[in-house]
Copies of this chain bind each other. A is one copy, B any other.
Amino acid sequence: MNTYKAPLADIRFALYDVLDSEALFARLGFADASRELVDAILDESARFTETVIAPLNRVGDEHGCTLDKATGRVTTPPGFREAYQQFAENGWAGLVSPTEYGGQGLPHTAGVPVKEMIDAANLAWGNFPLLSHGATEALLHHGEDWQKEAFLKPIIEGRWTGTMCLTEPHCGSDLGLLKTRAVPNGDGTYSITGTKIFITAGDHDFTDNIIHLVLARLPDAPAGSKGISMFIVPKVKVNADGSLGEPNAVQCGALEHKMGIHASATCVMNFDGAVGTLIGQPHKGLMAMFTMMNTARLAVGLQGLGLSDRAYQNALRYARDRLQMRALSGAKFPDKAADPIIVHPDVRRMLLTQKALIEGGRLLGYHAASLIDVAIHDPDAEARKRADDLIGFLTPIVKACLTEWSIECTYHAQQCFGGHGYIQEWGMEQLARDARITTLYEGTTGIQALDLMGRKIMQQQGAGLRVFLGMIGEFCTTHADDASLAEFIGPLREIAQEWQALTMQIGQRAMGDADELGAAAWDYLFYSGYAALAYWWARAVAAADASSHPQSLKNAKRETARFYFTRLLPRTRTHAAAIASGAAPLMALDADAFD
């Protein structure tokens, strides 16, 4: 009933027409990443996600994962393991990983649509390869050569998967509180002891081994977040020749029962003197973790995008099929018993909101992913620096906005179905339940807002914002005389000016009172998201007009942009007013007086 069709046309529009990925890949030296190759990857990814993993989405929700308490072994729902084997055999696991470790070495910009399709097709399934990706990043950037050889290669080849073991019962956002201990064994290894919770893919039946990246404290560690180190702890010990040895003392103790993503194994992991090795410097584990986390945050943003798109597709089909009432302006289909509900303005409002947030959000997310390639491969050091600043700035925006918009999009999509949206059979409610995790894990929306405001704006003095405002300025200047874009350029200039002014205001207020940062953060993040989307929608119209696509596509981009500018961008009015009101309305009430 609930289906998925990869939005290949819009994905190609984003890559080729707006982001100009062909020229980008040439500049960055990805000689092999021709348009033909990328197209073939997109086609094959569409086939795999539509026909192999999308049909398992409901099965996964109904079955969930099961745990054998005696052995700590997790069994995934029927079909999940086989789908992963296809995925691994076809080389998807290492799509964007370096060729020297067995990856395919493709740009992240080409990997990101594949990620979107996987998440749209089956979010819970997609969490297993996703977590490997975080481990890959940490091993790539912080692992010693032997660690890369022993652990990274099998992960990239898809033979093993990875996890990120951060959270403990008493510490989620505040990792400084963590208690898991690592005691040196004298042979260069450590004994890890402690309990980690919310460990996605902590155990499963996809692969023979799982590589846990675990935050823990050394005996001499300072208190707080500066005393945390990262360790590699394999589920099964690995012999010197790479073969599997004895089981390690780490086991899944329980599976969480969750609102959604039932097929994603959310494990309590018990480390009972498990043997691990240090990765990176002692007490510098948080830095290694941030490497994993930035990638993971962008990835979770894409999960939001994928879910939104799947929900929208199904809502759109329903809105075209469902006959109910006549258009207020007179029957549009007088030969039918009633008009399809897509004639009603309020149904169009819900659909266009989704369309504008999804297609705009796709540009926002893909662009951020493309910056990873620029930051690594651009021949110009200045360009690499700019990209790096911009990634840092955009990561919390992409993570928070694309996930919060997925809450909104799945909400509207469900609403389009009326009461049927509440019935499991239609599959819309699962999308809403699955989406609900995305604003919680990898840092809640509030944590993203603090990261943006505190770290990316204040500590880094708005370096990333300046780069983005520069992009806007350049675009507006280039198209200053383009009458057909004037309706977008004017408001975009205004919003960019206000964005800058608001940033300054907050900065000044924060010098007097640090709570001003926290009080502005959430509204500032969404203000930024809507401002960024205004830029991308203006770019989309310009790119469509400049393309050889049929007039219908040009019209659709223009009308959706108009909807965005008139109906969604005004949300910045509310956010700006909230920011202007400062911290006092939030801080005045005594904690005892909230009842």
Residue A450 lies at the interface, judged by CB distance under 8 Å to chain B: yes
Residue A414 lies at the interface, judged by CB distance under 8 Å to chain B: yes
Q: Is the CB of A433 within 8 A of B570?
A: no
Q: Is the CB of B586 within 8 A of A563?
A: yes
Q: Is the CB of A338 within 8 A of B177?
A: yes
Q: Is the CB of B567 within 8 A of A578?
A: yes
Task: List B contacts of A123 (CB < 8 A).
Answer: none
Most chain-B Cβ atoms within 10 A of its Cβ — which of A355, A418, A433, A556? A418
Nearest-CB distance from A180 to chain B (Å)? 15
Q: Is the CB of B440 within 8 A of A421?
A: yes
Return the contact of A436 from the options B343, B414, B586 (Cβ within 8 A).
Answer: B414
Q: Is the CB of A352 within 8 A of B586?
A: yes
Task: List B contacts of A584 (CB < 8 A).
Answer: 562
Q: Is the CB of B595 within 8 A of A518?
A: no
CA distance A562 to B588 in the complex (A): 10
CA distance A498 to B560 in the complex (A): 28
Return the contact of A585 from the options B260, B337, B562 (Cβ within 8 A).
Answer: B562
Nearest-CB distance from A477 to chain B (Å)? 27
State how many copies of this chain the complex holds.
2
Return the contact of A415 from the options B174, B355, B446, B560 (Cβ within 8 A).
Answer: B446
Task: List B contacts of A349 (CB < 8 A).
Answer: 519, 522, 586
Residue A521 lies at the interface, judged by CB distance under 8 Å to chain B: yes
Residue A146 lies at the interface, judged by CB distance under 8 Å to chain B: no
Asked whether A514 and B173 contact (CB < 8 A) given A259-B433, A440-B422, A573-B577, the answer is: no
Nearest chain-B residue to A415 (Cβ)? B444
Within 8 A of B (CB), among A134-183: 167, 170-174, 176-177
Return the contact of A445 from the options B177, B415, B590 (Cβ within 8 A).
Answer: B415
Q: Is the CB of A586 within 8 A of B345?
A: yes
Within 8 A of B (CB), among A186-206: 198
Residue A239 lies at the interface, judged by CB distance under 8 Å to chain B: no
Asked whether A429 and B418 contact (CB < 8 A) given A174-B325, A328-B514, the answer is: no
Residue A407 lies at the interface, judged by CB distance under 8 Å to chain B: yes
Q: Is the CB of B585 within 8 A of A577?
A: no
CA distance A445 to B587 in the complex (A): 33
Q: Which of A73-81, A243-251, A316-324 lies at the interface?
A: A316-324
Q: Is the CB of B581 within 8 A of A566?
A: yes
CA distance A195 to B79 in the complex (A): 37
Q: Is the CB of A436 within 8 A of B446?
A: no
Q: Is the CB of A345 within 8 A of B587?
A: yes
Asked whether A316 and B437 contact (CB < 8 A) given A344-B518, A345-B583, A586-B349, the answer is: no
Within 8 A of B (CB), among A448-469: 449-450, 454
Most chain-B Cβ atoms within 10 A of its Cβ — which of A260, A345, A552? A345
Within 8 A of B (CB), among A322-345: 323-325, 327-330, 337-338, 340, 342-345
Q: Is the CB of A556 within 8 A of B593?
A: yes
Residue A257 lies at the interface, judged by CB distance under 8 Å to chain B: yes
Task: List B contacts of A323 (CB < 8 A).
Answer: 170, 174, 177
Residue A347 lies at the interface, judged by CB distance under 8 Å to chain B: yes
Residue A515 lies at the interface, judged by CB distance under 8 Å to chain B: yes
Nearest-CB distance from A345 to chain B (Å)? 4
For chain A, the count of residues having a C-beta within 8 Å of the partner chain is: 101
Nearest chain-B residue to A345 (Cβ)? B518
Return the contact of A578 from the options B411, B432, B566, B594 (Cβ within 8 A).
Answer: B566
Asked whether A258 and B325 contact (CB < 8 A) given A352-B586, A436-B429, A446-B346, the answer is: no
Asked whether A419 and B563 contact (CB < 8 A) given A338-B174, A343-B591, the answer is: no
CA distance A35 to B277 in the complex (A): 71
Residue A386 lies at the interface, judged by CB distance under 8 Å to chain B: no
Q: Is the CB of B562 within 8 A of A570?
A: no
Nearest-CB distance from A73 to chain B (Å)? 22
Nearest-CB distance from A212 to chain B (Å)? 18
A-B contact pairs, 30 of them (CB 8 A): A171-B324, A174-B325, A176-B338, A257-B423, A258-B422, A327-B515, A328-B454, A328-B514, A329-B514, A340-B591, A345-B583, A346-B518, A346-B522, A348-B586, A348-B589, A349-B586, A352-B585, A407-B411, A414-B440, A419-B440, A432-B436, A552-B590, A559-B585, A559-B588, A560-B589, A566-B577, A567-B585, A570-B578, A573-B573, A574-B574
- Starting from the known contacts A567-B578, A573-B577, 12 additional A-B residue pairs (CB-CB under 8 Å) come to A167-B419, A173-B325, A344-B446, A345-B515, A346-B446, A346-B450, A348-B589, A415-B440, A419-B440, A422-B440, A552-B590, A574-B574
Nearest 10 A/B pairs, CB to CB: A570-B577, A345-B518, A573-B573, A566-B581, A259-B429, A328-B514, A345-B519, A346-B446, A174-B324, A257-B424
